[in-house]
């Protein structure tokens, strides 16, 4: 199908056919990564601005590589050392950047809705690279691509998303995306880290790890932020790890072909034991590889390049 959107803001917006379109486009981009000269002229003359207000290594680098392999000019703008530190509002900064005529602005910001705010005010394409606890659509897309590659299909699979769902934009984007692709989603975590009315998102909610992962084709472990302990969501990292950490012993009761995913960065020994992170079940590094392909696909679709 023909891509019609100006922006990529959320998985909640996308239809299943659009998701498939992005995955197929990304898949075709993967071949470029296997070449000796990893560069195609597709987005030559196009400018991509990475506007990152939150620390990020993986996502920003991934967008940067994706843009460069497509021959776009990629400029990184981080909040530190910029006008944002001098108190300029997000909107003013974005309008100033737009005045320099970029084709795509990739934004990460701590506030939910920040990408939508920019999309409403900017004429160029806006990609949401994570807005608060709202969405992180390219992460969900790369997760879907990874699952589709490994399992051959998406429809009918069972996925368990485990951990701090309340504060996770990765969980939200995956819940919306997976549901649209016919995946059954179970979210699991202590009740303090499961958001209000979560069942209304069309997911099962479990408060026992063993129950949540027993029949899962995929287990997606979420990163636990240390500040959750200080703000009273959990008593201690130690206890969380004992109750909710994924260990090889716990995996014994799972499907033998289960996939372990994690959006990174992993807290080894907290949500994942080191053995699990490095086990044959883990596809964490495949996710990172696919991240570049997804972002190439997204930049290609939004910046209107010609086929590679």
Partner 1 sequence: MNLLIRNGRLLDPAAGVDGMLDLMIAEGRIARTGQRLEAPADIRVVDATGKVVCSGFIDIHTHLREPGHEYKETIASGTRAAAAGGFTAVCCMANTFPVNDNRAVTDYILARARVEGVVRVHPIGAVTRNLEGTQLAELAEQAEAGCVAFSDDGRCVTNAELYRRAMEYTLPFGTPIISHAEDPDLSHGAAMNEGIVSTELGIHGQPAAAEDVMVARDIVLAELTQAHVHIAHVSTAGAVRMIREAKARGIRVTAEVTPHHLLLTDEAVRGWDPNTKMAPPLRGKRDVEALLEALADGTIDCIATDHAPHALSEKEDEFAEAANGVVGLETAVSVLLDRLVRPGIIDLGTLVARLSSAPARLLNLPGGSLAPGAVADVTILDLGQPWTVDPARFRSRARNTPFAAWAGIGGPWMTIVGGVPITV
The contact set with partner 1 (CB under 8 A) reads 12, 89-91, 109, 111-114, 116-117, 131-135, 169, 172, 195-198, 200-201
* Cβ closest to partner 1, residue 103 vs residue 131: 131
Q: Closest distance between partner 1 and the C-beta of residue 231, in Å?
A: 9
CB of 193 to partner 1, least distance (A): 12
Q: Among 139, 271, 131, which Cα is nearest to 193's?
A: 271
* Shortest spacing between CB 92 and partner 1, in angstroms: 9
Nearest CA among 118, 127, 109 for reference residue 48: 127
Cβ proximity to partner 1: between 111 and 266 the closer is: 111
Q: Please check whether residue 60 is in contact with residue 108, taking contact to mean a CB–CB distance below 8 angstroms.
A: yes
Q: Contact at 8 Å (CB) between 78 and 30? A: no
Closer Cβ to partner 1, 16 or 111, answer by number: 111
Q: Considering the complex, state which of residue 169 and residue 180 has its C-beta at the smaller distance from partner 1.
A: 169
Instruction: Give the ranges where the chain is alpha helix by DSSP (H).
Output: 16-33, 58-69, 90-98, 114-121, 137-151, 169-180, 209-213, 227-230, 237-244, 248-251, 274-277, 284-303
Shortest reach from residue 210's CB to partner 1, in Å: 25
CA dist., res. 251 & res. 249, Å (int): 5
Q: CB-wise, 25 or 173, nearer to partner 1? A: 173
Q: Which is nearer to partner 1, 60 or 134 (CB)?
A: 134
Residue 46 CB-density burial (10 A; 0-12 exposed, 13-18 middle, 19+ buried): buried
Least distance between partner 1 and beta carbon 56 (Å): 17
The SS3 assignment for 24 reads: helix
Per the CB < 8 A criterion, the answer to whether 161 and 178 are in contact is no
Torsion sign (Cα): 53, 59, 62, 63: negative
Phi, psi of 204 (to 5 degrees): -85, 145
Q: In the bound complex, what is the minimum distance in angstroms from residue 272's beta carbon to partner 1?
A: 24
For the CB of residue 228, give the shortest distance to partner 1 in the complex, in Å: 13
Q: How far is CA 181 from the centre of its chain?
A: 16
Angle at 140 between CA 65 and CA 296, to 5 degrees: 25
Looking at beta carbons only, is 116 or 246 nearer to partner 1?
116
Please identify, using beta-carbon distances, which residue of 88 and 275 lies nearer to partner 1.
Answer: 88
Rounded to a whole number of angstroms, the minimum distance from the CB of residue 131 to partner 1 is 8
């Amino acid at each position: 199908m023909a891509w019609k959107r100006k922006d990529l803001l959320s998985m909640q917006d996308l239809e299943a056919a659009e998701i498939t379109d992005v995955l197929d486009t990304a898949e075709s981009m993967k071949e470029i990564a296997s070449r000796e000269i990893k560069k195609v002229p597709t987005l030559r003359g196009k400018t991509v601005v990475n506007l990152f207000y939150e620390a990020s290594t993986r996502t920003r680098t991934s967008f940067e590589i994706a843009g460069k392999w497509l021959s776009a000019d990629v400029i990184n703008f981080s909040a530190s050392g910029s006008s944002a530190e001098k108190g300029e509002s997000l909107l003013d900064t974005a309008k100033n950047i737009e005045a320099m005529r970029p084709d795509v602005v990739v934004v990460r910001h701590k506030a939910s809705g920040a990408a939508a705010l920019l999309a409403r005010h900017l004429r160029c394409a806006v990609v949401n690279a994570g807005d608060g606890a709202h969405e992180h659509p390219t992460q969900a897309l790369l997760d879907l691509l990874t699952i589709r590659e490994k399992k051959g299909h998406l429809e009918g699979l069972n996925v368990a998303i485990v951990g701090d769902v309340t504060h996770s934009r990765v969980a939200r984007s995956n819940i919306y995306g997976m549901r649209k692709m016919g995946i059954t989603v179970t979210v699991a975590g202590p009740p303090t880290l499961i958001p209000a009315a979560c069942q209304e998102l069309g997911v099962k909610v479990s408060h026992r790890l063993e129950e949540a992962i027993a029949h899962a084709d995929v287990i997606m472990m979420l990163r636990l932020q240390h500040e959750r302990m200080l703000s009273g969501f959990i008593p201690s990292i130690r206890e969380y790890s004992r109750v909710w950490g994924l260990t090889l012993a716990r995996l014994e009761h799972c499907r033998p072909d289960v996939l372990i995913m994690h959006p990174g960065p992993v807290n080894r020994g907290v949500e994942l034991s080191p053995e699990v992170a490095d086990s044959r079940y883990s596809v964490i590094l495949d996710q990172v590889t696919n991240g570049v392909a997804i972002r190439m696909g997204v930049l290609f679709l939004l910046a209107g390049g010609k086929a590679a």
